[in-house]
Structure 1
């Protein structure tokens, strides 16, 4: 009986050691797989430019384009991203989605769609995206520039101007062609159209004005760019600065948003980033 008990004890011990070894082996494999993803792919962002007036207490969706190197490895980026933030806590990303597209020249097209809220009434700016992979390390990526502000300051001034007829949203290059209506009984003298930061702007000639209660075409083919900056993809709220009846008070109207190059074919999008 003693030999049988000893034999039984050795059997239980051997089984226990085997189970512990099996557990450690399986978890070592899991941990090894999980901790290597973020170091095994290259992600390069386009020079995105977003300058937008966001409705108060609401969020707005924006596209951030990038390319992922897939020559030797093709990790599924949409499954690896745990969280995304800007390097400005006052620009809050409330939700995001990672979309992947075509492959071209060893790269895959990436479109990160972010829902954004602005938490102050000031102009807020960021230029870096902080991406957390697989609930582990956070890596910074320069993504261009985002400038946002709540529409609260604009709405307080009232609306003297509104779009008339069809309003073109998407453009292949930096131009603007819209018809605006003067809803007041006075003469409106436009001074400038720009984005929030005046990175992009156009100044009107002195003789251009909107007669009372009438609509007029605004066609701009030659926006000025600060420091001759070149952006790959742009999302902008054009802001019209103006006076009424030559008064010194300056008003600002944030026009509906417009996008540039975002509707280009995917191949053309990628060529901008691969170069």
Structure 2
């Protein structure tokens, strides 16, 4: 039987893509299906070998109807995700504009400023949390010492254990450690804005704000949209900062979905229940991503800029 050149080309392409497909199946699809299967059982760490009994949607219903669900969801959506992403995008854009300014270039400080900005980003999250916990320490922390010295406070503040300050403290750590990535990405986008447009607008009498509003910002919107989506997904699923900074405390005041997954799996030993929370998180992010692209389509933005 003679194989046609077209069939031979298809076979060659398939054989070249097969390793990639196997990697995707092994590292993504299979764990996803297995985790989904676990979420419908009552399996625990104590009976992993025996396996769990099939209980349907009981884990999902128990989680969604629990007394702590709305508190955990609010902490995750508002405090952990919305607040930190908002300040990261805002500060990242501010730093990008500053680094791209003629002032720093004229002062020969652009390179130094960029290196300084990269220091927080190069710091591992574990190190960042430990350093900031020391800064927030009520006894020996530099922040309390400074506030006492300036007279802003009369008594030290326990930022990590005080209900009024714990979330601002956690968000400070996240923003400090992750904003440089946003700033560097926006700086790269800023440097693609045609200078001729700003020069033409300047000749037509447009001020700095108008040039930013009608020229620079539209060029940055596709990048801002992608960075916002990536930041939301990454932060929504993040476990490290909250757990290392507060351990979901005081009590469970800063408990979020990711820490709830960990505690249910490795403290309460309920693997099936923990898997159900994880699947819920994945579904929420998948729906959010689909709606995000639907209502803030990146392709449409790119076409408008182009």
Specify which structure has the higher proportion of strand.
1
Q: TM-score range by the shorter chain?
A: under 0.3
TM-score by length of 1: 0.25
Task: Please say which structure displays the higher CA radius of gyration.
Answer: 1
TM-score by length of 2: 0.23
Structure scoring higher RCO (CA < 8 A, sep ≥ 6) equals 2
